[in-house]
Homo-oligomer: A and B are copies of this chain.
């Protein structure tokens, strides 16, 4: 009966209300999919139009997201063919996320110091959050 079966979205949903620009949300979502192995190297990504329709955004928004992912060498594009996950996309993606982790940790620790917290308090908070994340 037509196009009711939505198939599992190849990318997570995004929202204008969420923090950060739409194209960045798409970038983050795809980086996560690649990093966690749900999008393997060589796999074709959804076309601009399909992804734009699924996420209810415009073409150029998807284009901008893919452009940034290509700049990071996580994907590559071929005119008239499509967009694909690059061979070392998983390693690239994980490396970027690792650097981002360190940057965020630095920020968090600095903010904690400025709040008057000491090393132990900060580590305890981190441990608590790690446990909470497991539930």
Report A's interface with B, CB cutoff 8 A: 31-32, 35-36, 94-95, 97-98, 100-102, 104-117, 119, 122-123, 125-127, 129-130, 133
In the complex the two chains form, is B130's CB within 8 Å of A115's CB? Answer: no
Chain B residues whose C-beta falls within 8 Å of the C-beta of A98 in the assembled complex: 112, 115, 117
Q: A100-B111, A104-B108, A123-B130 are in contact. List 16 more A-B contacts (CB 8 A).
A: A35-B116, A36-B116, A95-B115, A98-B115, A101-B108, A101-B117, A101-B125, A104-B104, A105-B108, A105-B126, A107-B108, A108-B108, A109-B126, A110-B133, A123-B127, A126-B126
Q: How many copies does the complex hold?
A: 2
Nearest 7 pairs of A and B residues by beta carbon: A104-B108, A97-B115, A101-B112, A98-B115, A101-B111, A105-B108, A94-B115
In the complex the two chains form, is B125's CB within 8 Å of A109's CB? Answer: no
Q: Tell me the complex Cα distance, A104–B111, Å.
A: 9
Chain B residues whose C-beta falls within 8 Å of the C-beta of A102 in the assembled complex: 125, 129
In the complex the two chains form, is A125's CB within 8 Å of B105's CB? Answer: yes
Chain B residues whose C-beta falls within 8 Å of the C-beta of A129 in the assembled complex: 102, 105-106, 109
Q: Can you list 23 pairs linking A and B with CB atoms under 8 Å apart?
A: A32-B114, A94-B115, A97-B112, A98-B112, A98-B115, A98-B117, A100-B115, A101-B108, A101-B109, A101-B115, A101-B117, A101-B122, A101-B125, A102-B129, A104-B104, A105-B108, A109-B126, A109-B130, A109-B133, A110-B133, A122-B130, A123-B127, A126-B126
